Structure formats: C-alpha cells, structure tokens
Amino acid sequence: MNTEFQATAIEPDSAAVFTIANSLWEICEKRSRQNNFNISECYKGVDQFIREIMRIANLFENWACHHVNFDEFDEVWAYYLGDNFGKSCLTVLPLNCLMEFGEADCLRVALHLRLPVMLDDKLPIPVDVTAPNPVTGAGFREFRIQTVRNSLDDGDVVPFVADDDPFDEEFGERYFGLYGVDEDEKLEHIADRKTYREVLNLVQKLTPGIEFPCKPTFASNPPNPSP
C-alpha cells in the first residue's frame, strides 16, 4: 500500500475532496460543451453548481472513510479519484441530476470505481469468493460463495455482480449462495443464507479447515477509461 495514502486512510482527506470536486467539474464542463447543456440554467447559477460538486466531494470522501478497505488499495487515493471519479459519477447520474446524489450513489460510484468496499450487512455489496476444498479426493474441488438476488418479475435467482445496480428495484434483497465446484468447474447449489457470516459458518461445518476470508471486500478490475 502506498505510504502517502496510508497517512490519511481514516480521516477525510482534503486533497481527496479537492480532486473529487475537480474531476467532477472538468467532466461536467466537457460534457456540457459537447451537448450544449446550460449548467447555470439547470442549477440556477454556476455558484450553486459548485456547491453541489463540493457537497458530493465531501459526502463521498466521508463515506469512503467508513466503507473502503484502504489496506487493499494500491493506488494513491487522491490521484486515483482525480483521474476517475467524475466519469464514474456521470455514469451513475446524468449531468442534470447531481443535486440528487446521495449515500446510495456513493456505493454505486464506489462499485463502478472497483474500490475494495468492505462487506457490510447493511449495504448490498456484491461478493464472489472461492476457496479450495482441503479434503483430498472429495467430489467438490472447491466451494464458492456468491451474492444472488431474486427477480421480482419471475422469481428467478440471478447472480448479483459488480456491474449490477445494487439498488435495482426489479430485484429483491441480495443474499448469499453456497456452491460446490466439481472438476469440470460445474456449480452445484448447496444452500442459501441471509448473511455472509451464516454461509461461512455452514461451509466451515461441512468442510473443516476450508479458508474463506472472514470479511471479504468487493474488488474487481479498475474501470475502463472513457472520454
């Protein structure tokens, strides 16, 4: 982990707040020119638009200090946000709706940024972890714990993954599925549990000595740069 970042990992970092706001300002200015969008008219003045940007920057930085595992983050926090926050934010909300940005959007942006968000029973965070079976010659080569949701339309079970909206109203609450993986990498559903702790306790009873993380974080590939 970068030591420059480590010094400001817990308390909100004013440098990060600045780079978040600047990143959002720059992409909004660019998109407004490309689309002939009048920022001043939409936000009843550029000064109010700047206040919204600063509100978002402070809100996200405070949220991240409570929910991001910085020990698993290898970039310089302020630089990374400066390069990526604005584009990710406008992926979550359109330019004319930044006044609606709230804590739920903090999670949406964090997932889009592929930040190592810590598991929290109160937040719908996607989890997908696999551990080898320590029992030699067993039918399952490994076990997998994955977040899933039920479609409210037809009741189908659907994996809840990184690119999904964590607050999609077409699906029920996320829960955790336990699967066995055979030598052909085929999955066999074993059980479902409401929390990660419950499904972890189950797999440890089934296969003593298996090594799953006690509290996994969401992590995936970084977002692809976009214009």
Tell me, letter by letter, the H, E, C secondary structure of the chain.
CCHHHHCCCCCCCHHHHHHHHHHHHHHHHHHHHHCCCCHHHHCCCHHHHHHHHHHHHHHHHHHHHHHECHHHCCCCHHHHHHHHHHHHHHHHCCHHHHHHCCHHHHHHHHHHCCCCEECCCCCCCCCEEEEECCCCCCCCCEEEEEEEEEECCCCCEEECCCCCCCCCCCECCCEEEEEEECCCCCEEEEEEECCHHHHHHHHHHHCCCCCCCCCCEECCCCCCCCC
pLDDT for position 185: 87
Quick one: which of 119, 137, 135, 140 has its CA closest to 199? 119
List phi, psi (to 5°) of 64: -65, -35
pLDDT for position 219: 59
CA–centroid distance for 46 within its chain: 31
pLDDT for position 225: 38
pLDDT in tens, 170-227: 999 999 999 999 988 899 999 999 999 999 999 999 999 999 998 888 755 444 433 3
- Report residues of the chain scoring pLDDT below 70: 1-10, 219-227
